[in-house]
Amino acid sequence: MKEEKKKNMARQGKTNHMTGKKGLQSWHNITGLKPRKKGEWKPSKETKLKMSRSKLGKSISSKGKPRYSTRGANHYNWKGGVSREYDRVRGKLEWKMWREKVFIRDDYACQKCGKTGCELHPHHLIQVKDLIGKDEGMIYEVDNGITLCKECHRKIHRKRG
């Protein structure tokens, strides 16, 4: 590029040396190669053979195999099998009856914001995890429950943890 043209471009605020050139100046115009679309390239039989030979003797992925080292009591987040206890408690007919009684008592309305006609959740005032194994009868007490909408229930558990 001539010096005079460069000065002219600088006066106009243009600093790109490619300005004024025709055609797209990118790697595929320079090299003559075009970018491939996903799935466009298909390896030849020779290439497939080379690829399969390169994998010989290497261990197969452990995908789909159980990892015994991080299961159950060996997992860092293990809390003594509480999940199974929750499932046992929530699977009972008493749970469903308690839930319905709490909704009826609260007239199917959120007790925090007053919403009706939305997704409602029954919430234990004394948490279930604190009652399991100690006072399981209290889990199904209507006085230990309150009706909350999904948003209010989420907010309470964010605060409480």
Q: What is the pLDDT of residues 58-100, one digit of tens each?
A: 776 666 666 667 777 888 888 777 677 778 888 889 999 999 9
* Residue 148, pLDDT score: 95
Q: What are phi and psi of 143, to 5 degrees?
A: -70, -15
**Cβ neighbours, 10 Å, residue 50:** 11
Distance CA 106, CA 148 (A): 9
Distance CA 103, CA 101 (A): 5
Domain spans, the chain: 80-160
Which tokens go with 144? 């230990």
Global pTM exceeds 0.85: no
> What does pLDDT average to in each consecutive run of 10 residues of the chain (161 residues)?
69 60 54 62 82 80 68 80 77 91 95 92 89 85 94 88 54
Contact call for residues 21 and 30 (beta carbons, < 8 A): no
Which tokens go with 34? 């075009």
**Cβ neighbours, 10 Å, residue 57:** 6
